[in-house]
Amino acid sequence: MSMNILIIDDHPLLRAGLARLFAVEFEATTAEAPDAQAGLALFRKLRPDITILDLNLPGEGGLSLLQTLRGESVDARVLVLSMRNDVWSAEAALRLGALGYLSKSAPPEMILEAVRHARAGTRFVEPAIAQAMSDSGAGEPGDVWRGLSVQELDLLHLLLEGAKTEQIAATLGIAEKTVANRKSMLRNKLGASNDIEMLQSARAAGFVAG
Amino acid sequence: MTLATRLLLLVAGALLISLLAGGLLIVGAASHWVQTEIDTASHVARELVDERLAEAAEEDESPERLTELLRSLETGYHIKAVYYADSAAVSVSPRPVMEPTLLSQLLGVHPIVEEIAVSLPGRSAGRVVLTIDPQPEVAQVERAIELNMLAVVVIVTVTLGLVAIGLRSSLRPLSELASALSRVGVGDFSLRITPHGPRDVALLGLQFNRMADQLQKAQARARTLDAQMLAVQERERRDIARDLHDELGPCLLAANLDVSALVRFNRTENRQAVADCAGGLATLLAHMQELVGQMIGRLHLMPADHIDFPASVQDLVAFWRDRCPEIDWVVNCQPWAVTRSAATVTALLRVVQEALANAVRHSSAQTIAISCVEDGKDLWLTIQDNGAGIPENGRQGLGLAGMRARVEALGGTIKINSKAGHGTTITASLTEGSEVTA
């Protein structure tokens, strides 16, 4: 039985590579979307068997799209493929219902393996990230980073990339004042007295830009 | 030795020298006066005695008359007259000759002794000895000198006292200035002094304040510039990291995917698919090469003297055109006729880089124009956009200040014209003689 795979990623060459590999390996039919809006539209139209989702998308971030997709359909099988390889992004994605999590440094065979797992409805997390998650205790109660919402994680990642308030506002489509408010709430939540301290502790905890 | 002590010693020295000179003049004049006095006295006494002796010879007077004369002569307070009959001395003087004093030795005056031979008829021969003593005059001089000395001591004391007081109050601002300068010496430019005291000293205070102002401003400028340079470097680092992360990372994964697909297509012997896949891989590799090239260009790892300015500007524009195809890019930059130093090329490229980044990121411009006009050694570089302009609050001040610093370091000037809603025009001018030879 042929598989329908939707690839949501802003990188055209990567989408093309994934599509070719899925076609030859699974004889899958693929559809591609460069951003969250187009991705949601295609998802509604095609109801794909598997959705490959990047977290760094222009416009609405990948994590909130994941939330939306799972809200549209509880059966949505979403495999996150992101440059982010920190345990908290993975933890957040799995908490929001992703069936798998892979970083973009994973080898192609592992991506195919994850797709096979997703097709079978079983969870697959890149072993290095899974190991890091169990080592760090991410997702355990009491982990301050676990308490972060999807918006807060997206904001934190944008801040780690060095984005300025106006850029964040433009990316997330919200007012600069809202960005400033969310930022101060995030600081309070993480018990940091300023942005630099917050970003330093985020880096120390294993968050990376992207 | 402090300035005040030195000045006081100088004044005291001058007073001492004039005192010595005055003393010498006084001694000279006094010596002359005393000598004249006793010479006159001696002359008068001798004439009186001679006259009396002549009268006595004519009138056969008794010697008593002579004795009487001699006694009357001695009423003058500095004459001693003695008549010696034969060898026996008959003293008629009630007072002895005064002892010479130190002052009389200094004046060089000595008693005058005159001997007058007496030979009266019918009497044995004798002699009259007249001694004219200068001591009473010397005593007068001494009293005058004492009074003068007293006056001089008073004048010297008062003069030195006034000079000391005047110096102390005049030099107080200088010691304040010295302590302020020592603060400047350790890098504290915040101190200002209240200029006071004499006009020229107060002027020093004013000039100190001006100097401290300038130093403080220069220090602030240097600090701002350091911070700006760091911010610019940090932003460039972040941009490069983002390119590596957002562009190169996915490309590497895509290449890896293509290799896996290629292996699988090869098994199926679907030649068209193999060709497609290999073509995709080649496109990816070319894209990655271009990316790496652009990143190296942005890091300026190329030796600066090999940078072709117009070509580099085209590269920068190509970089942004890829990312912002909706912007209308106008480039007018002909190859240069004159070879310019590496420092100049690098600085101008940084200006273009910064101006383009600002225009793209902050101005929402529809058109961005870059032109580079050469006239002999002179060069004008203009980057113009029709975007939002630089906001008054100066949030973009960092990059602009960096540009200014680079161009001014070459001795050139930079003009930034910007009005909210009417775009921004940045013009860097390097004109004759302005370029630093590097």
| Maximum average pLDDT range among B63-67, B144-148, B431-435 | B144-148
In a domain, A106, yes or no: yes
DSSP conformational letter for B375: E
Residue that is last in its domain, among A136, A163, A196: A136
Q: Which of B151, B152, B82, B72 is nearest to B111 (CA)?
A: B82
A142 Cα to chain B: minimum distance (Å): 31
**pLDDT digits 0-9 by tens, B8-23:** 899 899 988 988 998 8
B279 Cα to chain A: minimum distance (Å): 11
| Residues A71, A12 within the same domain | yes
Q: Is A109 on the interface with B (CB under 8 A)?
A: yes
| Residues A103, A152 within the same domain | no
| Residues A31, A115 within the same domain | yes
| Residues A102, A189 within the same domain | no
d(CA A185, CA A143): 17
d(CA B8, CA B167): 9
Q: Do B257 and A13 touch (CB under 8 A)?
A: no
Pairing of strands A50-53, A4-8: parallel
The most distant pair of C-alpha atoms in chain A lies apart, rounded to whole Å, by: 56
| Residues A171, A81 within the same domain | no
B310: CB partners within 8 A, 6+ apart: B333, B334, B335, B336, B372
| Residues A192, A100 within the same domain | no
In a domain, A210, yes or no: no
How high is the pLDDT of residue B3? 81
Q: Do B284 and A24 touch (CB under 8 A)?
A: no
Q: Which two tokens stand for residue B53?
A: 């002796």
Q: How far is CA B301 from CA B208, B228, B306, B307, B376, in A?
A: 46, 22, 11, 10, 29
In the predicted model, what is the mean pLDDT of residues B89-96?
Answer: 48
Above 90 in pLDDT, residue B195? no
DSSP conformational letter for A139: T
Band of residue B211 on the pLDDT scale cut at 50, 70, 90: very high
| Residues A177, A113 within the same domain | no
Substitution target in A20, A102, A208 with the highest count of B β-carbons within 10 Å is: A20
**pLDDT digits 0-9 by tens, B398-410:** 577 778 888 888 8
d(CA B374, CA B336): 7
In a domain, A143, yes or no: no
Residues of A whose CB is below 8 A from B246: 56, 83, 210
DSSP conformational letter for B378: E
Residue that is last in its domain, among A92, A108, A136: A136
| Residues A187, A124 within the same domain | no
How high is the pLDDT of residue B87? 53
First CA to last CA distance, chain A: 36
Q: Do B268 and A24 touch (CB under 8 A)?
A: yes
Q: Which of B250, B258, B284 sits opposite A104 (nearest CB)?
A: B250
Above 90 in pLDDT, residue B307? no
A106: CB partners within 8 A, 6+ apart: A81, A114, A126, B253
Q: Do A83 and B255 touch (CB under 8 A)?
A: no
Helix (H, G, I), strand (E, B) or coil at B199: helix
Asked whether the beta carbons of A18 and A60 are under 8 A apart, the reply is: no
Residues of A whose CB is below 8 A from B250: 9, 11, 13-14, 83, 104
Above 50 in pLDDT, residue B284? yes
Residues of B whose CB is below 8 A from A17: 253-258, 261, 280, 284
Band of residue B209 on the pLDDT scale cut at 50, 70, 90: very high
Backbone phi and psi for residue B430, each to the nearest 5 degrees, phi listed first: -120, 105
**pLDDT digits 0-9 by tens, B313-332:** 888 888 888 878 888 999 99
Q: Is A97 on the interface with B (CB under 8 A)?
A: no
In a domain, A141, yes or no: no
Q: Which of B111, B149, B116, B138 is nearest to B48 (CA)?
A: B116
The CATH number linked to A164 is 1.10.10.10
Helix (H, G, I), strand (E, B) or coil at B269: coil
Q: Is A170 on the interface with B (CB under 8 A)?
A: no
**What is the rounded radius of gyration, in angstroms, for the C-alpha atoms of chain B?**
56
Q: Do A21 and B254 touch (CB under 8 A)?
A: no
| Residues A66, A166 within the same domain | no
Please indicate whether residue B97 or residue B186 has the higher confidence score (pLDDT): B186
Q: How far is CA B151 from CA B24, B155, B159, B301, in A?
A: 17, 6, 12, 89
How high is the pLDDT of residue B94? 44
The CATH number linked to A116 is 3.40.50.2300
Q: At what angle do helices B271-299 and A12-26 cross, to 10 degrees?
A: 150
B396 Cα to chain A: minimum distance (Å): 12
The helix or strand, by DSSP H or E, that contains position B425, with its residue range, turns out to be strand B424-430
Asked whether the beta carbons of A206 and A86 are under 8 A apart, the reply is: yes
Asked whether the beta carbons of A41 and A17 are under 8 A apart, the reply is: no
Helix (H, G, I), strand (E, B) or coil at A78: strand
Above 50 in pLDDT, residue B435? no
DSSP H helices, B60-189, are 63-73, 102-107, 135-185
Q: Is A24 on the interface with B (CB under 8 A)?
A: yes
A167 Cα to chain B: minimum distance (Å): 9
Give all strands of the β-sheet with B328-333 in edge-to-edge order: B328-333, B367-375, B378-385, B424-430, B413-418
Substitution target in B232, B233, B248, B260 with the highest count of A β-carbons within 10 Å is: B260
Q: Is A85 on the interface with B (CB under 8 A)?
A: no
How high is the pLDDT of residue B139? 86
Q: Do B264 and A21 touch (CB under 8 A)?
A: yes
The helix or strand, by DSSP H or E, that contains position A89, with its residue range, turns out to be helix A87-95
Range of the domain at A120: 4-136
In the predicted model, what is the mean pLDDT of residues B183-205?
Answer: 87
Percent of chain A with pLDDT over 70: 93
Half-sphere exposure at residue B425, Cβ-oriented, CA atoms within 13 angstroms:
7
Ramachandran region, residue B60 (left: φ > 0; alpha: ψ -120 to 50; beta: rest): left
Above 80 in pLDDT, residue B55? no
A141 Cα to chain B: minimum distance (Å): 32
Give chain A's domain count. Answer: 2
How high is the pLDDT of residue B61? 60
How many residues in total does chain B contain?
A: 438
| Residues A18, A117 within the same domain | yes
Q: Which two tokens stand for residue A162?
A: 């060095």
Residues of B whose CB is below 8 A from A9: 250
Q: Do B246 and A83 touch (CB under 8 A)?
A: yes
How high is the pLDDT of residue A40? 94
B184: CB partners within 8 A, 6+ apart: B191, B211, B212, B215
In a domain, A36, yes or no: yes
Q: Is A35 on the interface with B (CB under 8 A)?
A: no
Backbone CA torsion sign across B433, B435, B436, B438: negative
Residues of B whose CB is below 8 A from A108: 256-257, 259-260
| Residues A122, A29 within the same domain | yes
Q: Do B253 and A104 touch (CB under 8 A)?
A: yes
| Residues A119, A21 within the same domain | yes
Q: How far is CA A108 from CA A21, A54, B17, B24, in A?
A: 9, 16, 108, 118
Q: Which of A141, A164, A160 is nearest to A152 (CA)?
A: A160
Residue that is last in its domain, among A87, A105, A136: A136
d(CA A10, CA A57): 6
Its ipTM equals 0.72
Residues of B whose CB is below 8 A from A21: 257-258, 260-261, 264
Please indicate whether residue B48 or residue A97 has the higher confidence score (pLDDT): A97
CA B31 to chain centre: 56
Q: Is A83 on the interface with B (CB under 8 A)?
A: yes
How high is the pLDDT of residue A124? 94
Above 80 in pLDDT, residue A207? no
